[in-house]
Amino acid sequence: MEIFGYIGALLIGLVLGLTGGGGSMLTVPILVYIMLLNPVVATGYSLFIVGTTSIFGAFQNFRKGLVDIKKGFLFAIPSFIGVYLTRSFLVPIIPDEILKIGNFTVYKGTFLMLFFAIIMFLAAMSMLKKKKIEVAEIAEKEASTTILIIQTFFIGIVIGLVGAGGGFLIIPSLVLFAKLPMKKAVGTSLLIIAMNSLIGFIGDIQNLEINWLFLLSFTSISIVGIFIGTYLNKYINENQLKKGFAYFVLIMAFIILYKELM
């Protein structure tokens, strides 16, 4: 099973390199169901794996001029505060037994996996939904700094809870509110994901006993995957790839829901 887990690590980086996002949706299920880690530990490890891998993806996009550093930091600061506070204080205080109805008990790990499955479902639906955003429509969208800070802060909380990169939440915000073209939004999103995830992981260091040998070896394979994915990106139809991946994420969401509830 460990061999399949490490193959999954390569796949995580491959998908991140090909699509600029989405690979983080694979990380938690692979760590929980293949590597048999506790969901709380898995979401923490996922932040490190996704964050470190995204650094390399962001660097590749930066070399192509597809990262807006200024807007990246503007969006990242409120969200990584949300991630850090969630991992440091919110996750540790969630009770081990959240809800009990008759013989059915919702434990902390189950709650996190169910919440993750819902986020996966929403991410898949947003990838499958064809949205044509007109330039004029984008120009009409106005967001005050306060609304932007609140929005990105809550994105950080979601990222902190599920251990995912949150690219599917960040990219639309960069397109609509920062008015970035899609390709630059994807590159900038990887920079934000890297900062969010790694700062969130710092919040976990004080609460988790970390197996650094496993974590670094798993992450190294994922980094190899992102280089392969970035290289193959120019040869593969991105729209078809994202559509196929969206269906895969949707199936994974239903599998997690079934596994946790049944």
pLDDT beyond 90 at 105:
no
User: Cβ–Cβ contacts within 10 Å for residue 79, how many?
Assistant: 30
pLDDT digits (tens, 9 = 90+) for 55-82: 998 898 898 888 999 888 888 899 889 9
Q: What are phi and psi of 99, to 5 degrees?
A: -150, 140
Q: Residue 215 has which token pair? A: 């974590």
The residue segments making up the domain with residue 213 are 2-261
Amino acid at 199: I
Amino acid at 64: K
pLDDT beyond 80 at 238:
no
pLDDT beyond 70 at 21:
no
Angle among Cα 122, 125, 128 to the nearest 5 degrees reads 150
Q: Are 200 and 83 spatial neighbours (Cβ–Cβ below 8 Å)?
A: yes
Q: What integer is the mean pLDDT of 228-235?
A: 80
For residue 142, CA distances in Å to 173, 179, 181 come to: 11, 10, 16
For the chain, the domain total comes to: 1
Higher model confidence: residue 213 or residue 160? Answer: 213
Q: Are 140 and 177 spatial neighbours (Cβ–Cβ below 8 Å)?
A: no
pLDDT of residue 145: 66
Q: What integer is the mean pLDDT of 107-116?
A: 87
Dist CA 157 CA 159 (whole Å): 5
pLDDT of residue 214: 95
Range in 8-12, 44-48, 138-142, 224-228 the model is least confident about: 138-142
Higher model confidence: residue 260 or residue 52? Answer: 52
pLDDT digits (tens, 9 = 90+) for 160-184: 887 766 776 777 677 777 778 877 8
pLDDT of residue 102: 78
SS3 content of the chain, % helix, strand, coil (to 5): 80, 5, 20
pLDDT beyond 50 at 135:
no
pLDDT beyond 70 at 150:
yes
**Virtual CA dihedral for 22, 140, 133, 251, nearest 10 degrees?**
40
Q: Residue 217 has which token pair? A: 């070896």
Report residue 109's pLDDT band, with 50, 70 and 90 as the boundaries.
confident
Dist CA 161 CA 171 (whole Å): 19
**Averaged pLDDT score across all residues of the chain:** 82
